[in-house]
Structure 1
Amino acid sequence: MSAAIEVMRHHRSIRKFTEQALNDEQREAIMASAQAASSSSFLQASTVIRVTDPELRARVMALCGNQAYIGSAAEFWVFCADFHRHLQWVPEAKTGFAEQLLIGAIDTALMGQNALTAAESLGLGGVFIGAVRNQPHELCDLLALPKGVIPLFGLCLGYPDQNPEPKPRLPTSLIFCDNRYPAQFDEERMQRYDEQVQQYYRTRTGGNKNMSWTGQIGETLAKEARPFMLEFLHRQGFCLR
């Protein structure tokens, strides 16, 4: 097994960090690794905002549900899909298509995953923050994001101050298919996975959480998440056609 595969297979989200800062060499290596990710049509439709000002970080944290690790991590970066930059150099470029939202989101997600994997290979840890989309209008104003730019997720990075177990993933046979989508799923295997997740949560929380994976789906998808998102995308110039 290669070292890269070992790093990726042992990923855990880290939410407790020491006070140790990253050095310039580490940070530059992570940035370079992020930029090395694949880019659709070489559009490079991403921008990353590194939030270093403590007061600004605190205000961003407040918009993200006051998740304490946003403030305590050595680094906090906001990953954005960005077509504003393209219009600065090529004003006649046509933007606003739904496909461009997918391109920007995919390119930026690939960059984020590269960044986290690179950080983990250096002995660091991190966690992605989807809550940057909780109050996107306010976050855009706070970070001065112009039309054509949308925040997709944040990333906390730093030296881990905890050692959680990796969260169990779905069985490979339920994710990877040969040639066609399966007509039906393996119910027995799904039930075993539900039990595995339930045991993971019980162990991780000292018995305070007793939730299966399908139970978690039921809770998460019981209502529409962030119903304001389409209006926000339109305001920022995305999904107009």
Structure 2
Amino acid sequence: MGNKITELIQSHRSIRKFTNEEVANEIIEDITLSGQWAPSSNHIQAYSILVIQDQSKKQKLAELTGNQVYVEECPVFFIICADFHRLHTATKKHQSTFEINEVENVMVGAVDAALVAQNMFLAARSYGLGGVMIGGIRNNPEEVAALLELPKYVIPIMGLCVGYPAQSPQQKPRLPRQAVVHHDRYEKDKLEQLLDQYDEETRRYYMERTNGKRSDSWSELVAKHFSTPKRPHLKGFIKKQGIHLD
């Protein structure tokens, strides 16, 4: 069972190569409007969207995100931020205190930004566009903030490359439903067996995708990912932006 919307969602793949065709301003506006209609906790809308089309800025952002060339090559690059600057401005209108120094607030901003980004991505795909999310926007957040003139209380959460696809990659397999979807309780009894099956599936996927050059399993990738700290500098950057979580 399915429909056009679920088929669109379930056909997801990341696109990192784009044609030279520009994205019309009307489409960009519709994509950002779709982002604004994402759900938001308590209707505070703790996010902002930056539309980057200036080639020199895209080039610099490609460098800052880890030399990801598709940031430079995509026709339009969006940056979705958790934004408490606007909320601070609103509270000042009422001479109210601004109790921002809570983990919950950072989580709300990150969740709002993620929901906005996904809405935007789906809207883009509905126009025949493709793209890829860029977590590397958090690699060098101070430099990104300076480049984009982000004010206090604004934190870049993710980037989104968008353009007309110049590739059609194979879909990367997802975890078995039984390992993700639980009913009435967390069903962990068969988890190891399910992960063994998924490891085999992902190993075959990488073998086919790389013509035998890679044979990573999912659990191997996860183990490698969590073996070292990830972006420990973010805590200091968030503090510098005015949010003190200590």
TM range (shorter): over 0.9
Indicate the residue corresponding to 2:211 in structure 1.
206
Indicate the residue corresponding to 1:233 in structure 2.
238
Indicate the residue corresponding to 1:108 in structure 2.
113
Match of 2:222 among 217, 220, 240: 217
Indicate the residue corresponding to 2:56 in structure 1.
55
Match of 1:119 among 109, 118, 124: 124
Match of 2:174 among 169, 177, 197: 169
Indicate the residue corresponding to 1:7 in structure 2.
8
More displaced 10-residue stretch of structure 1: 32-41 or 175-184: 175-184
Q: 1: distance between equivalents of 2:197 and 2:188?
A: 20
Indicate the residue corresponding to 2:202 in structure 1.
197
- Residues 201 and 207, structure 1, Cα contact 8 Å, conserved in 2: yes
- Residues 141 and 156, structure 2, Cα contact 8 Å, conserved in 1: yes
SS in 1 for 2:173: coil
Q: 2: distance between equivalents of 1:56 and 1:194?
A: 40
Asked if residue 31 in structure 1 is aligned to residue 36 in structure 2, the reply is no
Indicate the residue corresponding to 1:96 in structure 2.
101
Indicate the residue corresponding to 2:145 in structure 1.
140
Deviations 1:78-111 (A, max 9, x none): 1100000111122233222211101000011000
Asked if residue 68 in structure 1 is aligned to residue 73 in structure 2, the reply is no
The one-letter code of the counterpart of 2:22 is A
The one-letter code of the counterpart of 1:47 is S
Q: CA deviation at 1:162?
A: 0.3
- Residues 98 and 239, structure 1, Cα contact 8 Å, conserved in 2: no
Indicate the residue corresponding to 1:84 in structure 2.
85
Change (3 A) 1:36 1:178: same
Per the normalisation by structure 2, the TM-score is 0.94
Over the matched positions of the two proteins, sequence identity in percent amounts to: 39
* Structure 1 gap segments, 5+ residues each: none
Q: 1: distance between equivalents of 2:191 and 2:72?
A: 43
Q: 1: distance between equivalents of 2:38 and 2:78?
A: 17
Q: 2: distance between equivalents of 1:3 and 1:59?
A: 38
The one-letter code of the counterpart of 2:39 is S
Q: 2: distance between equivalents of 1:150 and 1:135?
A: 11
Q: 1: distance between equivalents of 2:151 and 2:171?
A: 38
Q: CA deviation at 1:239?
A: 4.6
Q: CA deviation at 1:118?
A: 1.0
Change (3 A) 1:240 1:187: closer
Q: CA deviation at 1:180?
A: 1.9
Q: 2: distance between equivalents of 1:238 and 1:4?
A: 38
Q: RMSD value over aligned CA atoms?
A: 1.2
* Structure 2 gap segments, 5+ residues each: none
Indicate the residue corresponding to 2:165 in structure 1.
160
